């Protein structure tokens, strides 16, 4: 394992990256007629003011970090990173709907339907999905350095991750109460709802960075593992406080705290093993991926504070 892990400043890396992603997102959604829908879309994707306002933007971090690991420019991955946030936000807007999770708040402020009405929230989600594809196509540097065939694969990957065998499957299973069942079902929900999106993020970064097939496969496994890890730690952290969603509390009830902590250790080891595969070839460039594993577990800093010092 790279000994320099401790000296790498993930917070600085992440903060500068989030700033890039935020400005990419801001520019991708200009206010234009009809203003109501564009305002709702911006509200769903862009961070609000206040303590819990800053979004963590884990999918774009994974996407860009995977691309930069391979030595490719950040510009190749930034449009896909922004698209991942749009797709993610679209799913969350629909997940929060009164007929779904009925979540009145998200990131410490009213959820999109609470602020704009249920009908507008349905449509904001419906518009954010295609905007993600439009954005990737119109902003990714193509055909150089990203060939059309690679961009086509990225589009397929994005659509797969949020589809009926990916994140939507997780939402469906969660809705059906799978997190109240055994460990296998709980892990299935976490893998589908969070692992797929994280795998997609790393896979897109890999493709856009020109990864070899074995590198892409390792980054996929890394992404999937860290997606589940990140969420499980979130569930553990919020179990003592107020559970955000239906699934949070029931994940911990089903697994039990001891087993949940055991799984965290297993996932952490797996993710580090995948990241280690790259250390010989890419040296210090693996540090963002490597330190991200520790951060997922320890949460050594708050991004709000980081954003405030920017």
Partner 1 sequence: AAAASAATTEFDFKAYMGERAVAVNRALDAAVPAGEPPAALHDAMRYALLAGGKRVRPALCLAACAVVGGPEPWAMPAAAAVEMVHTMSLVHDDLPCMDDDDLRRGKPTCHVVYGEPIAVLAGDALLSLSFHHMASVGSYPPDVDPEKHPARVVRAIGELARCIGSEGLVAGQVVDLEMTGTSETVPLERLEYIHLHKTAALLEASVVIGAIIGGGTDEQIERLRKYARSIGLLFQVVDDILDVTKSSEELGKTAGKDLASDKTTYPKLLGLEKSREFAEELLSDAVEQLACFDKEKAAPLLHLANYIAHRQN
Closest distance to partner 1 from the beta carbon of 192 (Å): 9
Of 54 and 154, the one with the shorter C-beta distance to partner 1 is 154
Backbone φ and ψ for 232, nearest 5 degrees, come out as -60, -40
Cα gap 43→26, rounded to integer Å: 11
Helix then strand then coil, in percent of the chain rounded to 5, is 75, 0, 25
Smallest gap from residue 203 Cβ to partner 1 (A): 14
**CB-nearer residue toward partner 1: 98 or 182:** 98
DSSP helix/strand/coil, 109: strand
Residues of this chain that interact with partner 1 (CB under 8 A) are 32-34, 36-38, 41, 90-91, 94, 97-100, 118-120, 122-123, 125-127, 129-131, 133-134, 137-138, 142-143, 147-149, 151-153, 155-156, 158-160, 162-166, 168-169, 171-173, 175-176
Q: Are 198 and 226 in contact (CB under 8 A)?
A: yes
Q: Which residue has the tokens 């540097």?
A: 141
CB-nearer residue toward partner 1: 69 or 124: 124
Residue 154 has, within 13 A of its CA and on its CB side, a CA count of: 34
Rg (C-alpha) for the chain, rounded Å, is 18
- At residue 109, φ and ψ (nearest 5 deg) are -145, 170
**Of residues 32 and 309, the one with the C-beta less far from partner 1:** 32
Minimum distance from CB of 26 to partner 1 (Å)?
15
We find the least distance from the C-beta atom of residue 117 to partner 1, in angstroms, to be 8
How would you classify the pairing of strands 109-110 and 105-106? Answer: antiparallel
Shortest Å, Cβ 46 to partner 1: 15
Between 115 and 306, name the residue whose CB sits nearer to partner 1: 115
């Amino acid at each position: 394992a790279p000994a320099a892990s401790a000296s790498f400043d993930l917070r600085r890396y992440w903060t500068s990256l989030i700033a890039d992603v935020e400005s990419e997102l801001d520019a991708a959604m200009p206010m234009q007629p009809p203003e109501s829908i564009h305002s709702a879309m911006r509200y769903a994707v862009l961070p609000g003011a206040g303590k819990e306002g800053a979004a963590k933007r884990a999918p774009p971090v994974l996407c860009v970090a995977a691309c930069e690991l391979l030595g490719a420019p950040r510009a190749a991955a930034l449009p896909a990173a922004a698209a991942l946030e749009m797709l993610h936000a679209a799913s969350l807007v629909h997940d929060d709907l009164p007929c779904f999770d009925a979540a009145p708040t998200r990131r410490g402020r009213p959820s999109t339907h609470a602020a704009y009405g249920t009908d507008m929230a349905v449509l904001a989600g419906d518009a954010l999905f295609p905007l993600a594809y439009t954005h990737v196509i119109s902003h990714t540097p193509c055909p150089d350095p990203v060939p059309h065939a690679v961009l086509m694969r990225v589009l397929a990957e994005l659509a797969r991750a949020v589809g009926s065998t990916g994140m939507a499957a997780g939402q469906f299973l969660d809705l059906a109460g799978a997190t109240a069942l055994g460990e296998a079902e709980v892990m299935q929900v976490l893998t589908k709802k969070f692992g797929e999106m994280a795998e997609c993020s790393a896979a897109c970064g890999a493709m856009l960075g020109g990864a070899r097939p074995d590198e892409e496969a390792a980054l996929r496994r890394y992404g999937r593992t860290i997606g589940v890890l990140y969420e499980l730690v979130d569930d553990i952290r919020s179990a003592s406080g107020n559970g955000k969603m239906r699934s949070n509390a029931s994940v911990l009830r089903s697994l039990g705290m001891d087993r949940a902590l055991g799984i965290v250790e297993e996932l952490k080891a797996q993710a580090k093993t995948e990241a280690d595969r790259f250390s010989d070839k890419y040296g210090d460039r693996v540090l963002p991926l490597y330190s991200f594993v520790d951060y997922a577990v320890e949460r050594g800093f708050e991004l709000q504070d980081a954003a405030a010092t920017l």
